[in-house]
Amino acid sequence: MDRPPRSELRAADGTLVETLSTADVSALDAIDWRPPEEFVVKADDGVTDLHGVIYHPPDFDPSRRYPVVEIMYPGSQTTAVPRTFVPNGWGLQAQALAQLGFVTFIVDARGQPGRGKTFQDVVYKAIGRNEIPDHVATIRQLGEARPYMDLSRVGVHGYSWGGYFTLRAMLLAPEVYHVGVSGSPVVELESVAWVPVEPYMLKPSENPEGYAYASNLTIADRLAGKLLITIGTADVNTPFAQTMRMAEALIRADKPFDLLVLPDQSHGLQGQSMTYFQDAMARYFVEHLEPLRSPASSSP
């Protein structure tokens, strides 16, 4: 992730014949860009390695204290951690928020693909059970090794499945996650498309306990931090009705939350609505995590 793209012509024995092209990344100097830092921590089981990346603010000073934002997508069908110089969408979000003064990070927890069957089998019949403990273990290990991460100011953002796990993080670990922005969230598993659910969870009739545990609706009363939920009215992946059910659960639990409705927007936001959503997310984290409030300190 620290090597700009280049194309090389090499002989069959590997000898360099000619460098054909090298990406011009000089514009990154204008924003004091620094490559993300790769890390390895232990999962909640204390044994399994988890891999991730950290993004730092452009004026990073390890003697200061920075609020932390995690970009989260623990979906069992894909990985989120970028692995190339040109980042994926999650990496772009993490980089953009780092530019505002946050330390941001992304980690792939147990249950995600690419690490073998044992690694992914953790989610079998148990989506929503082990992912957040792994992410909490990651935050605590990162904070212990990096005193500049202020764990009294931690935010989390995810979209779609990431929105589901953002809600889950805020509800299952309110002592760890203090501010959340949940975009177009799944709120429970019975009412969404079966394709990303039933291969792992079986049918609801075959795994009622697993589906019941995975619902965010039944634990709405655990909310303690600041929560913004966003949803498009034309979303068919995570229908508007799902968000309304979450809103009702929070209202019945007497838990304050914020809601941003994007008219006529589907699951993939377009144009000005996408810009408005991104700006709203940034404002929410800046307002509630205060990245400029970072007094010099070398202790946790």
Cα 173 to Cα 176: distance, rounded to the nearest angstrom: 5
Q: Are 217 and 187 in contact (CB under 8 A)?
A: yes
**Residues 6+ away with beta carbon under 8 Å from 176:** 136, 139, 140, 151, 154, 169
d(CA 78, CA 280): 26
Terminal CA-to-CA distance of the chain, rounded, Å?
Answer: 29
Reply yes or no on whether 235 is catalytic: yes
Residue 56 catalytic? Answer: no
* Closest listed residue to residue 279, CA positions, set 224, 228, 225, 226: 228
Q: Which of 215, 266, 267, 273 is catalytic?
A: 267
Cβ distance 104 to 97 under 8 Å? yes
Alpha-carbon span 281 to 129, nearest angstrom:
26
CA neighbor of 285 nearest in space, from 33, 62, 56, 67: 67
- Give catalytic status of residue 63 as yes or no: no
E strand or H helix that includes residue 181: strand 179-183
Which entry of 160, 178, 184, 288 is annotated as an active-site residue? Answer: 160
Options 134, 178, 235, 288, the catalytic residue: 235
CA distance 221 to 215: 13
Q: Tell me which residues are annotated as active site.
A: 160, 235, 267
